[in-house]
Amino acid sequence: MPHRSLLRPCLLLSAIAVAITACAPGPPPEPEEPEKPPEEEPPKDPGALQEAGRYAEAAEAYGARAEDAEGAQAARLRYRQARALALAGEDPRAREVLQRLEDTEVEAKARLLRARIHLRHRRYDEARPLLEDLAAVRGEATLPNGLREEALDYLAQLHLARRQPGPAFDTLVERHRLLEEGKREPSLTRIRYVLGAIPEKLLEERIDAAGTDFPAGYLRFERLMRRATRQALAQTKRELNGWLERYGEHPLAAIVRNRLQRVQEAPLRLAVLLPLDSRYGSVAEALLQGMLAGYYQTDRGAGISVEVFDTRGSAEGLRGAVAKVREGEFAAIIGPLTQAGARTLSGRDESPENGDNPDSQRAPSADSADAEAPDEEDQSALAEGLPPTLLLNTTRDWARASQNLFQLGLDPEEEARQVAEFAYQQGHRQGGVLYPDSDWGRRMVRAFQARWQELTGTTRALHAFDPDETDHSPVLQELLALDEVAVRERGLKETLGIDLPEYETPPHREDLDFLFLASETRSARLIQPQLEFFAAGDIPLLATSHVHDPSDTRSDRQDMDGIRFLQLPWFLDPLPRHARAAEALGDSYPDQGGSLERIQALGYDAYTLTVGAWRRSLLLDEPQGEALRRMQMEGGTGRLTVTEQGRVQRNLQWAEYQNGRIFPLPGMLGPGS
């Protein structure tokens, strides 16, 4: 009890103390802090995470849910997990998840996503079978249209990436047939775009296969427009009328009627400026021969006149020729030929290239700068006010001086760049380079390396050889690191005390996906057998057209087997019109060597490209310079397209030596083919 009675007064006193304290004056109250909004809870739903761009977290969330699910639901969640991983850039993990979805209800979607991942990394060989399987028609087991249409879309993209426009076109046509009416207009745009890239032989094959069905009208229109740039206008009129009679209700009919109204007979005067009476006379003559072959094949009696002006290889001669052109009603000019002539015409005061091409007949684009040199007072652009002019020289960006200047030549560096592009498209990433120890060889290496590095390729070996030597063993041994192999072999023998039969055929280095051989025919004929001797024959060997001499016999080529090389279609797999022109030139000039035949092909292309642009300008009502800038043509020197800078890009065809024969590689005619 006492204890209890004492407790109560204490409680009472405490209560009084609290009351007194509450009544006593104190410091003013502090301002209240604004309430903080409650922190948003991070979304836990994987769909919301993915919507927020948090792909890695979404993948983990999908994976966690899949652990607790079974059967079809688990498979669907795993597929979403893989998709989120792919969006997060975690492709190896995504592929691992997708491969576990075989024999599930999402197997087809998983295969499509795997193919898309392969495409992203340019693994075309891995993507192709997946897409072809998804796109295949299997009767009742065929995939739903939506999924099959998507597979066909990606398969077409794969074909285009591999420069196979024919299969790409076929795939897009097949896809088009699956589409609903509202989605067909963009599809037709894509089909027409790819049509413009199909080589003419493939175009003819598809016209025959289509008969009267879709897309026959589009195919025949494309063929008609290509012919229009290289045939007399009267013939184009007849073909346009014939197309309208057959396809009067076609979606393109209004376009055809409009173009028919624009076609009119009109004279063309073409000026050709060449240094005929100079040390470049043989090259100039060969160019003129090629131009006249194009003229007589198509335009004789068609109202087109070709007038030749001899610049005599001097600045004075060039200025005199240009003055005569200004006096006439010329619609276009071809020439001049040399670097100095191009510099004079364009007004570009630049020093000549270091190390002109040693074979000026094979590559007039790299002629010496001695001829047609400009005077100090001649620094203004001589081309000002001239009609569209096609310079036969590509050693500099001469065309940048004027919107009406263009340039076309047999540029070996352009081929070196195409080797780099081809190697990368084939999946190669690590290369080696063999090149002659010469100015020409070093230029080839610089061009290859610049493009190869742009493509993120790596060069593991870079070795020069003496083009005057016949035994290249020391260079090849160093290239293949065979000395290191020999040292390793001796060390192992001494350590183990036994023979090593696996070293009887020494292994080559494993870090080379291919070799770029920048070489003329003679050196290539020596180097390839020596590579075989050192057991390196399985390393792909890529080269430019310079390893192919058209005059070689089959026995001459026996030692070249396995080399893949670029070549002018004129020599490799010519179109009928090129074959006819080459035959006519051969009959008229039987003593021309292979190097001058290349120049003839260049002259033929220069003529047909210039006159084709003139015809296009009439047909489409375009300024002639703009028409030339938009030209695409399958020429004797390659598939020709014109860059924004006015440079005519030549994309050559690929071929391979096999048993002394030459086999063109299908679908390998460069960009846009």
Q: pLDDT tens digit string along 404-438?
A: 999 999 999 999 999 999 999 888 999 999 999 99
The pLDDT value given to residue 360 = 37
Q: Tokens for 44?
A: 């836990």
Task: Classify residue 633 by its DSSP letter.
Answer: E
Residue whose tokens read 């309208």: 244
Beta strands at 653-658 and 638-642: parallel, antiparallel or unpaired: unpaired
**What torsion, rounded to 10 degrees, do the Cα atoms 254, 255, 261, 265 define?**
-150
d(CA 79, CA 46): 13
Q: What percent of the chain has pLDDT over 90?
A: 51
For residues 560 and 630, the answer to whether their CB atoms sit within 8 Å is no
For residue 271, give the nearest of 606, 636, 626 by alpha carbon: 606
The amino acid at 673 = S
d(CA 247, CA 281): 51
Mean pLDDT of 94-111: 92
The amino acid at 425 = Q
Please say if the pLDDT value at position 95 is more than 80.
yes
Flag the least confident range among 3-7, 378-382, 598-602: 3-7
d(CA 459, CA 156): 31
- Of residues 441 and 660, the one with the higher pLDDT is 441
Tally the residues of the chain.
673
pLDDT per position as a tens digit, 341-350:
888 888 765 4
The pLDDT value given to residue 673 = 36
For residue 184, give the nearest of 219, 155, 210, 215 by alpha carbon: 215
Q: CA separation (Å) from 494 to 358, 390, 499, 501? A: 51, 68, 10, 15
Q: At what angle do helices 216-228 and 200-210 cross, to 10 degrees?
A: 150
Give the DSSP H/E element, type plus range, for residue 607.
Answer: helix 594-620
DSSP string, 380-398: S-TTTTPPPEEES--SS-G
Q: Tokens for 635?
A: 């020429």
Flag the least confident range among 313-327, 524-538, 605-619, 638-652: 524-538
d(CA 102, CA 622): 56
Q: Tokens for 180?
A: 């609903």
Flag the least confident range among 313-317, 360-364, 564-568: 360-364
Mean pLDDT of 291-299: 90
Please say if the pLDDT value at position 392 is more than 90.
yes
Edge to edge, the sheet with strand 268-274 lists: 304-310, 268-274, 332-334, 389-391, 405-407
Q: What percent of the chain has pLDDT over 70?
A: 82
Q: Tokens for 399?
A: 């065309």
Beta strands at 430-436 and 389-391: parallel, antiparallel or unpaired: unpaired
Which domains, and CATH codes, for the chain?
198-264 (no CATH), 268-407+595-627 (3.40.50.2300), 413-577+657-664 (3.40.50.2300)
Residue whose tokens read 């060039």: 318
The pLDDT value given to residue 336 = 94
For residues 565 and 557, the answer to whether their CB atoms sit within 8 Å is no
For residue 223, give the nearest of 249, 180, 252 by alpha carbon: 252
| 3-state SS assignment for residue 175 | helix
For residue 197, give the nearest of 251, 154, 252, 160 by alpha carbon: 160
d(CA 342, CA 275): 12
Show Cβ contacts of residue 333 under 8 Å, excluding neighbours closer than 6 positions. Answer: 270, 271, 272, 273, 325, 386, 387, 388, 389, 390
For residue 337, give the nearest of 253, 419, 264, 280 by alpha carbon: 280
Q: Confidence class of residue 481 from pLDDT cuts 50, 70 and 90? A: confident
Q: Confidence class of residue 539 from pLDDT cuts 50, 70 and 90? A: confident
For residue 374, give the nearest of 354, 347, 407 by alpha carbon: 347
Neighbours of 347 (CB within 10 A): 17
* 352 alpha carbon, distance to own chain's centre: 29
Please say if the pLDDT value at position 382 is more than 60.
yes
For residues 269 and 305, the answer to whether their CB atoms sit within 8 Å is yes
Q: CA separation (Å) from 324 to 81, 386, 392? A: 74, 11, 20
d(CA 263, CA 135): 43
Q: Tokens for 323?
A: 């003055």
DSSP string, 343-369: HHHHT---PPPSS--S-TTT-GGG--S
Q: Tokens for 416?
A: 């070196």
| 3-state SS assignment for residue 327 | helix
The pLDDT value given to residue 368 = 33
DSSP string, 499-539: --GGGSSPPPPTT-SEEEE---HHHHHHHHHHHHHTT-TTS
For residues 422 and 655, the answer to whether their CB atoms sit within 8 Å is no
For residue 369, give the nearest of 335, 396, 400 by alpha carbon: 396
For residues 637 and 568, the answer to whether their CB atoms sit within 8 Å is yes
Please say if the pLDDT value at position 598 is more than 90.
yes
Alpha helices (H) in 24-143, listed in sequence order? 46-51, 55-67, 71-87, 91-99, 107-120, 124-135
Flag the least confident range among 157-171, 271-285, 366-380: 366-380
Q: CA separation (Å) from 104 to 70, 71, 79, 601, 649? A: 12, 8, 10, 58, 49
What phi, psi does 430 have (nearest 5°)?
A: -125, 120
Three-class SS string for 251-304? CCHHHHHHHHHHCCCCCEEEEEEECCCCCCHHHHHHHHHHHHHHHHHHHCCCCE
The amino acid at 24 = A
Q: Tokens for 463?
A: 């070795």
Provide the strand spans (E) within 575-652: 632-635, 638-642, 648-651
